[in-house]
Amino acid sequence: MIEIHSTTILAVMHNGQVAIGGDGQATMGNTIAKSNVKKIRKLQDGKIVVGFAGSTADAFTLLDRFDEKLNAYSGNMKRAAIELAKDWRTDRFLRRLEAMLITASKDELLILSGTGDVLEPDHQVAAIGSGAMYAQSAALALKKHAPHLSAEEIVREGLTIAADICIYTNHNLVIEKL
């Protein structure tokens, strides 16, 4: 998979709830360019939420294509993701895009990459970006040792821990629930 530096996106399915969140930091090289970027978007009248890491322009191109695929496949998120991944891998223009996506519905969680991957994460926790492993580790521990927490609380704490450790992640969080 592509390694993306510059953000952290975390999604969790837990106790019948789904939450996805991201920090607000955008960097250019080793400089903070903006601290309150919204990297989470709702699609399909709020039935699907997508988070992105990587180049903003590339991510918006992918979000538009993903929305087109969702419309073409009647909102079937997995089918739309697979079709996008096929195009992303084979199309000369899309192949150059540097971003990753996490997509979430009330029933599914997927990670999409430009290498053609459409992954259903283990333990219903997905993370991408530079702080992904910090956020994912925290979320997995919280799911196991604090099962009373909501999906939103797990996402918030996982992202907070990532922001405390990762220089490309900040504490300006945007979290959406389904």
Catalytic residues: 7
Dihedral of the alpha carbons of 22, 5, 84, 78, in degrees to the nearest 10: -50
Token digits of residue 49: 């939420």
Dihedral of the alpha carbons of 82, 60, 42, 156, in degrees to the nearest 10: 100
Q: Is the dihedral of CA 132, 138, 141, 143 positive or negative?
A: negative
Q: What are phi and psi of 154, to 5 degrees?
A: -65, -45
The kind and range of the H/E element at 27 are strand 26-28
